Amino acid sequence: MTYRYDYLVIGSGIAGMSFALKVASEKHRVAIICKTTLEEANTALAQGGVASVTDLLVDDFDKHIADTMVAGDHLSDPAAVEKVVKGAPAQIKQLVEWGVNFDKRPDGTFDLHREGGHSEFRILHHADNTGFEIQESLIAKVRENPYIDIFEHHFAIEIITQHHLGKIVTRRTPDITCYGAYILDTESGSVDKFLAKVTLMATGGTGAVYTTTTNPLVATGDGIAMVYRAKGTVKDMEFIQFHPTALYHPGDRPSFLITEAMRGYGAVLRDLQGREFMHKYDPRLSLAPRDIVARAIDTEMKLAGSDHVYLDVTHKDPEETRRHFPNIYAKCLSLGIDITKDYIPVAPAAHYLCGGIKVDLNGESSIKRLYAVGECSCTGLHGGNRLASNSLIEAVVYADAAARHASAEISGISLRDDVPDWNDEGTRHPEEMVLITQSIKEVNQIMSAYVGIVRSNLRLDRAWNRLDILYEETERLFKCSKASREICELRNIINVAYLVMRQAKERKESRGLHYTLDYPPVARKD
């Protein structure tokens, strides 16, 4: 079946939905493609908040810009940083108009929080579930908009370019153009053509590439993989942010976060023998910064060959602990762990991707008529490391920029009607699912062991060799199988894993979130 739209939005988080709301109109129809449901997105899991300069009595744009540059280890693009910081207040106003209820003080001003790396109180929030509040508000607006069609349980397989019209496309082809995408209806099994004048990639991050992640399991890097296969530019994939203390419970994916506030409260990290170990890594012990703690835990796990370490809060007053951390207490208790008496098993978890599809200040990728916004994009804002609560505001600022640019261009764009149907040849092998699930596990293990928090040339070479075998096996399986979400996700996971590994090999320094034993960090002279 062939669908025709003005705008095709692949992904349904804050980036995709805010873009859709801004371009939908009487003259322009929008399709939103959801891998599962409209509700399942990284946005909903964002606990912290949204960073924006709102209290001009104590804060200003220059401070927020400086904080972002420092956090990014001075690899951030100054133009992108300025764009997001200065564009933030207007987008906060837009979110409020769409129904987002940020917490306020009795006097009606925003109840601002401060997070690590920020020099001032500038984090707008809704309790401790800001992302969920934003997601729910946008869903309500999207569902009531008559010009937006929602396709749930649909999976984007490939974006359509000249390649599908018989032209040889390489990374040096100057005019690669996106005409829409081939989309799998996961309930019927049919692959449909979605032709569009403009396509937006808003598929989120890549956390599911790792064994342990805080991301929903839909975060398989689909958009990044599709754009890479279409010969688009992908950048800064080596910069992956890990949270040091996610609850280790093998049955849980995504992982439940154990807040850093617990270490601030007095919790102590211990190895499997119950021994403290942070004194070996930093004089601040368990209160050291996130990246140092994550590397220390990673080292201890690798030395012991273990899957986790422990966080110990048993020495604190039980009643006080329950009062301070009711959600953590309840979650752990549901798994048979009483945190007032038992150690909490924890392990670092893949949390946020700072790189992705390279875009300009309009959110446009190297492929014409294709925009990318949100975690799947690389705007240059984050550089080597993401400043807390900058991700949600980046998504809405760039969604606005992309919407403005696309709206100005769309009148001169026509649909391409000579695109062939998807070649649906192939068979489903009974053993296919076994092969796929095993391969996904192998990719997860390779990435966690060799391309995680601490890297080295030897580890990256080992990952390269093992991923190469899995890539060849998977491509052969894909060519002789009918398209399915499972086989497509496996292809995407392998593509993304390769990009992270290759770009990590190319960076000959320890910088930002990329830490390699072969190039010890050098103190910066700023």
Asked if pLDDT for residue 260 goes beyond 80, the answer is: no
Model confidence at 161, pLDDT cuts 50, 70, 90, reads very high
Please tell me the pTM assigned to this model. Answer: 0.89
- Kindly report the average pLDDT of the chain as a whole number: 90
Domain 2-238+354-412 grouped into CATH 3.90.1150.10: no
What DSSP element (H or E) covers 476? Answer: helix 457-479
Tokens read off for 176: 């690669």
Tokens read off for 422: 């998807």
pLDDT tens readout for residues 229-247 = 999 999 999 999 998 899 9
Between the CA of residue 157 and those of 146, 148, 192, 230, 426, what are the distances in Å? Answer: 27, 21, 10, 11, 15
Model confidence at 504, pLDDT cuts 50, 70, 90, reads very high
pLDDT recorded at residue 68: 92
| Pairwise pLDDT comparison (428 vs 445), residue with the higher score | 445
pLDDT recorded at residue 410: 94
| Interval 287-299 mean pLDDT | 84
Model confidence at 428, pLDDT cuts 50, 70, 90, reads low
Instruction: Please give the CATH topology (third level) of the domain spanning 432-506.
Output: Methane Monooxygenase Hydroxylase; Chain G, domain 1 (1.20.58)
CATH no. of 247-350:
3.90.700.10
Q: Is the dihedral of CA 505, 511, 512, 514 positive or negative?
A: positive
Write out the catalytic residue numbers.
290
**Under a CB-based contact definition with an 8 Å cutoff, are residues 222 and 522 in contact?**
no
pLDDT tens readout for residues 447-481 = 998 999 999 999 999 999 999 999 999 998 888 88
| Pairwise pLDDT comparison (490 vs 26), residue with the higher score | 490
Model confidence at 205, pLDDT cuts 50, 70, 90, reads very high
Model confidence at 222, pLDDT cuts 50, 70, 90, reads very high
- Return the domain boundaries, the chain: 2-238+354-412, 247-350, 432-506
Percentage of the chain modeled with pLDDT above 70: 96
pLDDT recorded at residue 342: 97
Tokens read off for 470: 């899995």
